[in-house]
Amino acid sequence: MILKNKLEVINYSEATLIFLFLYLGLTFFSVAISNICLGISCATFLTGLILKQIGFKEFNIKLYLAIASPFLLTVISVLNSASYSAGFGYLNIRLPILIAPLILLCIKIERPTLKKAFKILLVAAIIASIVTFYNALKYYNEDILFQTDFTYFITIIHHPYFGVYLLLVILALFEFNIIKKIYFMIFVVIILSVAISFTTSRIVYIMYFLVACIYSYSKLPTKKFKYSIIIIGVIVSLLIMNNKSIFNKFTSSFSYNDSPRLKLWSNAFEAVEESERYAFGIGLGDFYKDKKDVYFGEYYGNKTVGAYGYNPHSQLVEFYLTNGVFGLAVIMLALIFYLFRLKNQNIFALSTFTIVFLFSLFECIFNRQYGVQLYSVVIPIIISRNFKRI
């Protein structure tokens, strides 16, 4: 009886959300511990259900199916494979897409609780940035800073994902006013921004500039907005122009012969064309069973489909590859549903969705745990809650 009373005192919605953000934040340091936090979050959620603190009263099945559609498409693709075993690993890594949204659409999320959750992510991001600075200092004399091929020595996790996570934290800083003292907040933003610069990721740089423009336009008077954009533009331009590796990375985007992604996308469409499986695509297990190095394939040409690997570095292109026109149609319907839900949202929700969406156009985010976590935790929150009201 005493134990039951103690259990009933706990706010299970809040505890569940906190553990989900620990799942998100601890991925900087340990995937295993991060997954344990997801398990604890599930256990907390189930306890809340048993004690009737959490229920399915406000659960939106249509919204859940839209958010969970990437996992459902993965199941269909694996079943559409001749080699099931090669596809099971993708079911495992994408399982949180089924679990986390189910939890988030049932629990009660209030602004103070969400602020606490983002504080956890902020602390994790600052520590991760400090570790990144340490790595940069350690390799300072090795001439590998801002060299794309060596970013794995510098950033604490895979560099583009690191940049996206930090960018999300910067947005949360402004949205929830996590740090009250303005000068300290500016200092933290500078720390996170410098850490982002170490990623050398083109899409992260572009998203940083885009979000800075959006926030400056919405928060600042016209004159200050113009000055801030000029300053940010000059800083970003200097970073790109003064670093040959980053500059070449940007310019190569417009040349087919020098752009691995353009070759990978072309390669992906050729693979579908050769298989003639346009409707439902090439099964995920078949497609990835002989995975090759995506950046160092040789003798690329029409007769060597797959020489550049089957990872297209675009989630949208991958769904076409593994689920065909059917997969594209499902994802587009989900996207339209998201946009309809977002039309009355505030700048934070819109910017966050834009970041995840743009990033998914240039990365297969569901093939890495970092991307799965980002989608399965962040998207349900910004789609299901109205940030103008909470």
Residues 44 and 69 in one domain: no
Q: Specify if 37 maps to a domain.
A: yes
Alpha carbon of residue 306 to chain centroid: 26
How many domains are contained in the chain? 3
Q: How far apart are CA 186 and CA 193, in angstroms?
A: 10
User: What range defines the domain where residue 156 resides?
Assistant: 111-234
Q: Specify if 343 maps to a domain.
A: yes
Residues 370 and 309 in one domain: yes
Residues 84 and 119 in one domain: no
**What confidence score (pLDDT) does residue 310 get?**
60
Which residues of the chain have a pLDDT value below 50? 3, 292-304
Q: How far apart are CA 359 and CA 373, in angstroms?
A: 14
Residues 165 and 222 in one domain: yes
Give the domain-ending residue among 36, 55, 74.
Answer: 55
Residues 115 and 204 in one domain: yes
Q: Specify if 250 maps to a domain.
A: no
Residues 88 and 126 in one domain: no
Q: Specify if 251 maps to a domain.
A: no
Q: Rounded to two decimals, what is the model's pTM? A: 0.88
Residues 210 and 283 in one domain: no
Burial profile 314-326: b = 16 or more Cβ within 10 angstroms, e = fewer: bbbbbbbbbbbeb
Residues 270 and 387 in one domain: yes
Residues 390 and 269 in one domain: yes
CB 45 within 8 Å of CB 59: no
Q: Which three-class secondary structure string do you get for 196-236?
A: HHCCCCHHHHHHHHHHHHHHHHHHCCHHHHHHHHHHHHHHH
Element (H, E) at 377: helix 369-384
Sorted by sequence, the CB contacts under 8 Å of residue 147 that are 6+ apart come out as 200, 245
306 conformational bin, left if phi > 0, alpha if psi -120 to 50, beta if neither: left
CB atoms within 10 A of CB 69: 19
**What confidence score (pLDDT) does residue 71 get?**
95
Q: How far apart are CA 205 and CA 253, in angstroms?
A: 14
Q: Specify if 244 maps to a domain.
A: no
Could you tell me the CA-to-CA distances from 216 to 61, 221, 224, 231 in Å, in that order?
Answer: 37, 8, 8, 12
Q: How far apart are CA 282 and CA 320, in angstroms?
A: 9
